[in-house]
Structure 1
Amino acid sequence: PSWLTYAGDYLSDEGLGNEWTDCVKAWLAFEASFGYTEASASRLPESKSRPAIISRWLQSRKYGQTPLTFDDAATFAQEWTTWWGALQPEWRKPPHNCNLPKLMSTMSPDDDIHVLRKGGPSGLVTVVIGLKWWG
């Protein structure tokens, strides 16, 4: 699908290091597991904590533009981690005084992450795009 081509090209940035390249490869494999869906019905849960800049970007989806300036990168990082924490299933919600969720290694057999398994143009790609802006 065209959205995947645009997103993949936009996210591919070797200047962000090997870890970033591995992250993009993992995201592409994740999308492949959904058959590269076009479905916009596969959305992340609504969250009032989603950074406004991501909400605005979602309206235009201009993959070639990064709407951040250096001056607001620290604020965006705080907003992004709060949003990421809010998206998590209950068992993985961040502990108090921390915005980052519990590690996947703490997952028990009864826990799942189905609320995050959202492929397509309105799915996990929005989180990954936010990570790029933060990078």
Structure 2
Amino acid sequence: MTREDLGPHFRAVVAAWMRAEAASKFMQGPTNLPSKGRPKQVGAWITSARGKRGCNTSVANLALYAVEWQNWWDSLQPNWRSRGADGAWTVGTSYGKDGKEWGHLLQWGVNGTLSIVASLYFWGCAVREDDVAKIRWETAVTDVGWMLEGLALYYEMWNRKF
């Protein structure tokens, strides 16, 4: 997910994900992220043993991928997240419940948040030439980056419990 440079915000997502993985001691999580509603390209990537490299995953219908991705991301959010007046998830200065409740996002390893980062990578590769679609992707990248930073902080605070 670093073969193609998708910009500083995506690099920040990858850095936050790596920070969380390191703090969780690169262990395999107890379960998998829910697959219900996940974009089919992510499932195909997982089924292929995560074998595709670079921007080779095809996202033929950007609008459909964006809707599927957003629905999946929405279903993964912890109970403390809230939405602003515009319907978007709020990005605050702290994490709800002191960052102790992460719901489905508390999944590390190859079956955890890696799938979220990969899904953004596939989407980001597909929107490079579409400035309108890229705005929606960038919003998603910002939100995922904020949540992964929170997870990294959580893992660092509680890493002795893993």
Q: TM-score, normalised by structure 2?
A: 0.62
Identical-residue share of aligned pairs (%)? 29
Distance 2:41 2:73 in 1: 14
Gapped regions of structure 2 (runs ≥ 5): 125-162
Task: Tell me the residue number matched to 1:22.
Answer: 12
Matches within 5 A, 1:5-84: 11-13=1-3, 15-37=5-27, 39=28, 41-44=30-33, 46-60=34-48, 61-64=50-53, 66-69=56-59, 71-84=60-73
**1:45-80 CA-partner distances (Å, limit 9, x unpaired):** x242111221122111114163224x4222211211
How far residue 124 of structure 1 moved from its aligned partner, in angstroms, is: 0.2
Distance 1:94 1:43 in 2: 26
Contact 2:76–2:103 (Cα < 8 Å) also in 1: no
How far residue 110 of structure 1 moved from its aligned partner, in angstroms, is: 6.3
Could you tell me which of 93, 111, 126 is aligned with 2:115? 126
Could you tell me which of 91, 100, 110 is aligned with 1:103? 91
How far residue 131 of structure 1 moved from its aligned partner, in angstroms, is: 0.4
Distance 2:14 2:98 in 1: 28
Contact 1:42–1:120 (Cα < 8 Å) also in 2: no
Distance 1:58 1:134 in 2: 16
Q: Which has the higher contact order (CA 8 A, sep 6+)?
A: 2
Distance 1:53 1:94 in 2: 27
CA RMSD of aligned residues (A): 2.7
For these two proteins, the number of residue pairs brought into alignment is: 121
Change (3 A) 1:62 1:40: farther
Range that drifts further, 17-26 or 104-113: 104-113
Contact 1:86–1:93 (Cα < 8 Å) also in 2: no
Question: What is the one-letter code of the residue matched to 2:5?
Answer: G
Could you tell me which of 71, 86, 89 is aligned with 2:78? 89
Gapped regions of structure 1 (runs ≥ 5): 1-10
Q: TM-score, normalised by structure 1?
A: 0.72
Contact 1:50–1:79 (Cα < 8 Å) also in 2: yes
How far residue 83 of structure 1 moved from its aligned partner, in angstroms, is: 0.5
